[in-house]
Structure 1
């Protein structure tokens, strides 16, 4: 069953749950469109956005494409909208792959990624900045690895990725591979478990990409 078929089946269930959304096929691509209601902590409507969600061929192992169609969000990367394609920037590539590792559902995508994206837009409108905003481009996914490995040392990130690629079984009470001196279970076990959801091909890709970034070259130059 291809991604379009899976998306279409789930879309028909979703529009039963979200009465403000409708289903259509546009240029051969299944799509849901309409209004998404965002509620405040008291269950009252805080804001409403006009959206479209379009299927991708490898759904549910990648996010469908999300669009804000009401013209409220500027079409530029500073507002987390890809300028050329117009779809919303929801998560960094490694985060998306981890979330979609076992497949997602359209309902969970709306309840988590879509709503969180627009709640972040509300926060920016109210405060002038995004809460916990990531940088654009390579720096954004490097920041994901910095958070996951709990370090901004790019060589420690490189080492951590290599450890996962090697696939060594690490005892929970052994000293962590990062050199902190802490026991593994109290240090990088969670990081290892999260990133182990990525296939080796993907980890190898990000390790190679890391070494090609300006951030890595600058760090290498400084170290030498």
Structure 2
């Protein structure tokens, strides 16, 4: 039997209010859906974050790479893996450094957390991982949350999760760098260079506010 969908306005982690779909069964399921909505950014902010890491230019952001820990063979392998990731993400980091969007500082802080990781095992275990847009959004949301939540899954590729177990001061520094999207009630939008477009028209079933 399919679950009934309820469309409701809900406040998101970024402070914006948007329409969410809630489909879990029972009272506890609805509560979990609301908590998830409150712990994640709205669709517009998700798109903003994704745009920030698209189509990097030709610049490169300087990164101080710490010495890796582990056996000699693992360290050599991990160095190559980390360098490959830096070559991929360095131009994006340079682009973020120049962006006026408040989210840019948060995304840059996320990448800098990543490259502070000294465990050879982390780089080897995640050697096939691309640190893509979905990963970036999850990491920014981790930084923005005032406290951990059980409604969002954790994974071994997360720099935030790594440092939450290894050294909380690294997370504290990243939060400080990302203060523009943490110490505000609503993350401000940035002016778009493109021509203005008409507001999106969405059609939903009758809704309630959650």
Q: Same fold (TM over 0.5)?
A: no
TM-score with structure 1 setting the length: 0.29
Q: Which has the higher strand share?
A: 1
Mark the structure with the bigger radius of gyration: 1
